Amino acid sequence: MPDLLIAAARVVDPFNGIDEIADVLISRGRIAKVGRGLSRDGKEVIEASGMVLSPGFLELHAHLREPGDEDAETLETGLASALRGGYTAVCCMPNTRPPLDNPAVISGLWARARDMGLADLYVIGCVTRGREGRELSDMAMMNACEARVRAFSDDGAAVEDAGVMRLALQYAAAFGGLIISHPEDTRLSRGGQVNEGAVSTALGLRGIPALAEEVVVARDILLAEETGCRLHLAHLSTARSVNMVRDAKARGVRVTAEVTPHHLVLNESDIPGYDTSYKMNPPLRTPEDVAALREGLRDGTIDAIATDHAPHRCEDKEKEFDHAPFGVVGMESAFPVLFRELVESDEIPLERLLGALTRGPAEVMDLRPPEYGAGIVVGARADMVLLNLEEEWIMDASRFVSKGRNCPFHGRSVKGRVAYTVKNGRVVYAHEDGRG
């Protein structure tokens, strides 16, 4: 394989604070040189003038559906979907069938992903055995196995019992594990379909109050403070949640938080005609919540953008609103949607957006080089994404490589395109004109 030269890109590297025009030479899977006017002789050259070169993105929160729901997504389609979205690494949630709650199942999944040579896979294990919320899973054994599980979550549900959550945080703290909370009190949200308020009233759908999230955010922050364990809050959706995290960080609680692209861009009034591609949990909230989430992303209260990629079979989504499952796919639409809605509108600088897709999630997961996060410097593994920021196009879910088509951004005008994704020095995705 000839050496690859990415010529004259704007290199934006949140890990090393770099933002400059440079050529990047890749040889044998690693970055060999970074500089201006590098020799092109004998190299395969990508003309990248006007484009942005970033470290490959890290997806913190994806449902890859294996094992158990391979007709909704497989490891292979999910990890290929990641590459198409510019993600070179993916953390997958354990709410599969059966759940990922033991080293044997997790090691098997992880080894298969490694052999595919697509995006890297980091498996998140269950907090409780069978995700049943009663007994702790074998967290330390999962941590010690080949797949090196470092984060645990019963995502899809909170650990309902505060006593069990407290034990989980105490236990995980001992080996440096991270507990990821899905903040939802189902006694407040049960039967709910959309945000509780004017829109749920007008649509005649049962509401999910903001409070259902906020009471668990408050509880888990207190438990983390008490135990000293690292806590990560998944998919924040309300202004009050953001404020609680901001206050907790200010007093030194080891808490991090993520937000999804859909909660940053859409609000409850955007749901068109009972379209189930807009049904997700937590639900789309109010414009005030969206503004608070953007502010939280801007000021660093929110560490990372995670898509909560949740593919479903079309026939499961094409149902009555109450009967359709929650969740939307996200990895292939994330960057173009966020670039148009946040960066083009001057709300969030490009460097902050890229930081929230790379360094932010790496810090949440405590991933370090050489595994992930060396950035674009000599010697680093060449995992990068080249972004064309000029291109305007229409998002078309029918062209996703994910099996999921349930995307609320389908048909939306977006800007910015993943032109190339490079993994281990190889071009693993290249956009061709005429493909959505």
The catalytic residue positions are 308
398 lines the binding site for another protein (CB under 8 A): no
Within residues 296-325, the interface with another protein by CB under 8 A covers 315, 318-323
Contact pattern from residue 209 through residue 228 relative to another protein, giving x for each residue in contact according to CB under 8 A and a dash for the rest:
x-------------------
Work out the angle between the directed axes of helices 287-298 and 239-250 (0-180°, nearest 10): 30
346 lines the binding site for another protein (CB under 8 A): no
Enumerate helices (H) and strands (E) in the chain, giving the number of each.
14, 18
148 lines the binding site for another protein (CB under 8 A): no
197 lines the binding site for another protein (CB under 8 A): yes
Instruction: Supply the minimum distance, in Å, between the C-beta of residue 264 and another protein.
Output: 24
Within residues 260-299, the interface with another protein by CB under 8 A covers 273-274
- Please, which residue, 321 or 393, has the CB nearer to another protein? 321
Instruction: Supply the minimum distance, in Å, between the C-beta of residue 211 and another protein.
Output: 11
Q: How far apart are CA 155 and CA 150, in angstroms?
A: 15
Contact 335, 357 (CB under 8 A): yes
Residue 298 half-sphere exposure, CB side, CA atoms within 13 Å?
13
Instruction: Supply the minimum distance, in Å, between the C-beta of residue 236 and another protein.
Output: 21
- Please, which residue, 225 or 316, has the CB nearer to another protein? 316
Residue 241 half-sphere exposure, CB side, CA atoms within 13 Å?
37
Token digits of residue 391? 């291109």
Binding piece for another protein, criterion CB under 8 A, among 68-76, 170-178, 204-212, 254-262: 204-212
Please give the size of the binding site for another protein, defined by CB under 8 A.
21
Q: Which residue's structure tokens are 């609103």?
A: 321
187 lines the binding site for another protein (CB under 8 A): no
268, 250, 405, 426: which is closest to 333 by C-alpha? Answer: 405
Contact 382, 29 (CB under 8 A): yes
205 lines the binding site for another protein (CB under 8 A): yes
Instruction: Supply the minimum distance, in Å, between the C-beta of residue 318 and another protein.
Output: 6
306-to-75, 96, 244, 260, 284 alpha-carbon distances in Å: 18, 19, 19, 5, 15
Sites of contact with another protein (CB under 8 A): 196-198, 200-207, 209, 273-274, 315, 318-323
